[in-house]
Chain A
Amino acid sequence: DAGVIQSPRHEVTEMGQEVTLRCKPISGHDYLFWYRQTMMRGLELLIYFNNNVPIDDSGMPEDRFSAKMPNASFSTLKIQPSEPRDSAVYFCASSPTSGYNEQFFGPGTRLTVL
C-alpha cells in the first residue's frame, strides 16, 4: 500500500515567492494533518482536516499561510509571500477514524527560503 505522498521533497525559493506544498493521504483515511518541524521549535501542528473540512487551524502562524483540501485525496499548504523564517521541514500525516488516532506521516518537504 502506498503511504502518505508529499511533493516536492525539496523546495528552494526566494523571499517573497509563493510556495505550494502538496499531500496525498492514505486512501480511506478521514483525517489529514500538516506539521512544521524546525530545530528551534520542534514539531508544530499547523492545521488538521476531517472529511476535507478544516477543524483546527490555530497553529497556522500567520495569514501568509493557507491550507485547502478540495477532495479526500489531495491537500495543499500555501505560503504567500514566503520569508526566510519559513524555512523548515513540512510534514503531512493522515489518520483513519479510530479510537487510537495513530497518524501516518509522509516523508516531508524540506523548504528553504533564501
Chain B
Amino acid sequence: GDSVTQMEGPVTLSEEAFLTINCTYTATGYPSLFWYVQYPGEGLQLLLKATKADDKGSNKGFEATYRKETTSFHLEKGSVQVSDSAVYFCALSDTYSSASKIIFGSGTRLSIRP
C-alpha cells in the first residue's frame, strides 16, 4: 500500500543553518505530495505541495522538489529561524486510489536554537 517514510527527529539546528528533512514515498499511482507544518498547540497547516514529477513547491523560504526517479520529496530551507521550530509532516495523496485520503509520515520535530 501507499506509504511515506521521513527522517526521524528530533532535529536541532542553530539559527541560520541549512535544513534538510528527508522524505521518500511508495505509491501505486501518480501521487500529489505535501509538506504540512504543526506549530505548538495548533493544527496541521499546509506548507507546500507538488502535484507532478519535477514540480517544485515553495513557501516561506522552504522548498521541495518532486523526484519521481528517487521517489523523494525532501524539504529544504537555506537559513532557518527560531520561528521555524515545529513538527513537519511529509504526506501524499494518490489520486488514483482511495479518493481524498492523505497518507502522513510520522513527523519530524525541528528545534532551532537562537
Number of interface residues of A (CB under 8 A): 22
Question: 5 tightest A-B contacts by CB?
Answer: A105-B43, A101-B93, A105-B44, A100-B32, A101-B100
Residues of A within 8 A of B42 (CB): 107-108
Contact among A56, A100, A107 with B101 in the assembled complex (CB-CB below 8 Å): A56
> Interface residues of A: mostly helix, strand, loop or mixed?
strand
Task: Kindly provide the distance from the CB of B55 to the nearest chain A CB, expressed in whole angstroms.
Answer: 11
Chain B residue nearest to A106 (CB atoms) is: B43
A43 touches B43 (CB 8 A): no
Decide if A103 touches B102 in the complex (CB within 8 Å): yes
Within 8 A of A (CB), among B2-36: 32, 34
Contact between chains at A107 and B93 (CB < 8 Å): no
How far is it, in angstroms, between the C-alpha of A4 and the C-alpha of B104 when the chains are bound? 19
Q: Which residue of B lies closest to A42 (CB)?
A: B106
Chain A residue with Cβ nearest B51: A100
Using an 8 Å CB-CB cutoff, how does the interface string of A40-62 with B read, 1 for contact, 0 for none? 00110100101000001000000
B interface list, Cβ under 8 A from A: 32, 34, 42-46, 49, 51, 89, 93, 95, 98-102, 104, 106-107
If A42-B106, A43-B104, A43-B107 touch, does A101 touch B43 (CB 8 Å cutoff)? no
A4 to B44 alpha-carbon distance, docked (Å):
11
* A56 with B98, Cβ < 8 A, contacts A100-B49, A100-B51, A105-B45 known: yes
* B89 near A50: Cβ-Cβ < 8 Å: no
A: residues with CB less than 8 A from B are 4, 31, 42-43, 45, 48, 50, 56, 91, 93, 95, 97, 99-108
- Report how far A25 CA is from B106 CA in the complex, Å: 25
Q: A43-B89, A43-B107 are in contact. Are A102 and B46 (CB under 8 A)?
A: yes
